[in-house]
Amino acid sequence: MPSHEDLLSLLESGISTLEGENADYRPLDSEKRAGGLLDFTSGDYKNLPLLVVPDLHGRGKFLLDILDFKCGSKTVLELLEAGQIIICCVGDIFHSENRGRERWKQAFVESMAGNLVNEPMKLEMRENLSLLEMILSLKSAFAGHFHILKGNHENVLNEDHRSKYGNVPFRKFCDEGNLVSDFLQHYYDDLILHEISYFEKSLPICAAFSGCVVSHAEPADFFSRQEIIDYHKSGSFVTFALTWTANDAAREGSVAHLFEELLPEPSRKGAWYFSGHRPVLGKYALRQNGRLVQIHNPEIEQVAVVVPGRKFNPETDIVVVG
């Protein structure tokens, strides 16, 4: 488990980086805070290749394998160090989900008996927190080139603030949301718990690139570019719509609408929308008349490789990295 001092230091550095991001690619909201949109459709970043990373869910090895993956003659980490690539993760840092189903059940039994800091939870949280430390380190080191969006699992307080933050309490096999919150509070303290929450609420929720848009989930409805930028003010309408959408629950045409809002006209025609959130069988699933591609297969370490000026092909450009 990370020490309190190390984890707090990394959280403070990561939050500072997020709050101070370059407004050239992260426009400020109406209250002069870092907004909810990353915009790489112009400027120095627009011609860089992009890796879209699906839900991580405690898979630190997945992130390490991405950094070790070779694109041409260089590894992804070498490309990051050279400022020659952008990585955009769709979110969901915590919760091993089905991979840790039995561990979650054991942790629940232990916690209900009053042992909140139990061995199954230590195993789970070592995975989650080591991944969080990697993400914080990468964000601090490569601010403009490494990004992670808020997913529906970025709710460490397990709060029901749909109206303000788009957050809904999480449970799947047992009471995972409360188990994580209780563990962090008892193993560390309220400071660590609330710093993680502050980090989560500092994350952007949508990213636009040359010829593609990325969010955690399929966009559930129509909204404007400014509403995305003002996501802290827009609350549930935008954040919930980009992080919690179930299959077949989105408004028809929501992806095409966002292309018009976020992409320059020349790049809209062949644009793709990338999301994770809902698991797929195989490499991908297409929605929104083939304009949106879901790439989250929890059994495979795969990423989408998007190269500006080259037509994206989901059969060949979604690649296994480990």
According to the model, what pLDDT value does residue 166 have?
84
Q: Residue 42: what pLDDT? A: 93
pLDDT at residue 318 is higher than 90: yes
Contact call for residues 159 and 167 (beta carbons, < 8 A):
yes
Q: Which domains does the chain show, CATH number per domain?
A: 4-320 (3.60.21.10)
- 164 pLDDT more than 80: no
**214 contacts 271 by C-beta, under 8 angstroms:** no
Q: How confident is the model at residue 40 (pLDDT cuts 50, 70, 90)?
A: very high
* Of the candidates 211, 226, 234, the residue with the CA atom closest to the CA atom of residue 49: 211
Are the CB atoms for 114 and 177 separated by under 8 Å?
no
User: 3-state DSSP helix/strand/coil percent for the chain, to nearest 5?
Assistant: 40, 15, 45
Distance of CA 70 to the CA centre of its chain: 22
Question: What integer is the mean pLDDT of 45-53?
Answer: 97
Split at pLDDT 50, 70, 90, the class of 235 is low
Contact 28, 190 (CB under 8 A): no
Contact 291, 256 (CB under 8 A): yes
Residue 318 CA: distances (Å) to CA of 37, 180, 299, 304 = 24, 32, 14, 4
Residue type, 27: P
Query: Cβ contacts of residue 9 below 8 Å, gap of 6+?
Result: none
Mean pLDDT across the chain: 96
For residue 304, the model assigns a pLDDT of: 98
- Per the DSSP assignment, residues forming a β-bridge with 74 are 71
The whole-number average pLDDT for the span 80-86 is 98
CB neighbours of residue 74 within 10 Å: 14
Least confident of 84-88, 168-172, 182-186, 316-320: 168-172
Instruction: Look at residue 104 in the predicted model and tell me its pLDDT.
Output: 96
Q: What is the pLDDT of residue 234?
A: 64
Q: Which helix (H) or strand (E) holds 18?
A: helix 4-19
Q: Which residue has the tokens 């008996």?
A: 113
**Amino acid found at 83:** G
Least confident of 70-79, 136-145, 227-236, 296-305: 227-236
Helices (H), 70-175: 76-81, 101-112, 119-141, 162-165
Nearest to 258 by CA among 300, 211, 219, 301: 219
- Cα torsion for 87, 17, 131, 145, to the nearest 10°? 10
Q: Are 271 and 263 in contact (CB under 8 A)?
A: yes
> Which pLDDT does position 173 carry in this prediction?
87
At 221 the pLDDT is: 95
Beta strands in the chain (DSSP E): 37-39, 50-53, 70-71, 74-75, 86-89, 146-148, 206-209, 212-215, 272-275, 285-287, 292-294, 302-306, 318-320
For residue 51, what are the β-bridge partners?
87, 305
Q: Is the pLDDT of residue 163 over 70?
A: no
